[in-house]
Amino acid sequence: MMQLEAIKCGLLAMLLLCSASAAIAQNSLFLRDSPLASLAGVELDALLIDLNSALDTAEIDTPVTWQTTDGRLNSVWTVTENYQKRGLSCRKMTLETTSNGETFSTGYGFCKIDKSWLFDLE
């Protein structure tokens, strides 16, 4: 009986560990094919923190400006719509990023799970 309980606890711990890694990977998945994909480490952490904050507080159609500390990337984020999905609060956002004089613009959906905004895969 104790072995079964230990196995259950071990499996639960593995599931939680994997789901946390999957959430982090999913949350930065939207950056693929964007100049923001070049960010790593502290810059990527700062981007995700500021993006979460913008999704929490930005008014519809009110641009939020973000840039790397060295100024090589500038990005303007605009929440364009609020929506519900499977009982979650979600927001659509356009990200317009300029790097080396070229601008890349795309839109994404994000849904809030617990206290974090995660990329809406569908």
Q: What is the pLDDT of residue 23?
A: 41
Which residues span the domain enclosing 101?
2-119
Q: Please give the model's pTM, rounded to 2 decimal places.
A: 0.69
**Which pLDDT tens digit goes with each residue over 78-99?**
999 999 999 999 999 999 999 8
pLDDT digits (tens, 9 = 90+) for 96-119: 999 888 898 989 899 999 888 988
Q: Is 96 exposed, middle or buried (0-12, 13-18, 19+ CB in 10 A)?
A: middle
> Are 94 and 116 in contact, with CB atoms under 8 Å apart?
no
CA distances from 82 to 24, 78, 97, 109, 110 (A): 23, 12, 22, 9, 10
Phi, psi of 120 (to 5 degrees): -85, 105
CA distance 39 to 76: 16
- Between CA 36 and CA 41 the distance in angstroms is 12
Domain count of the fold of the chain: 1
Segment 23-81, tens digit of pLDDT: 444 444 555 556 676 777 888 888 888 999 999 999 999 999 999 888 888 999 999 99
What distance in Å separates the CA atoms of residue 5 and residue 50, rounded to the nearest whole number? 41
Structure tokens at 49: 């923190």
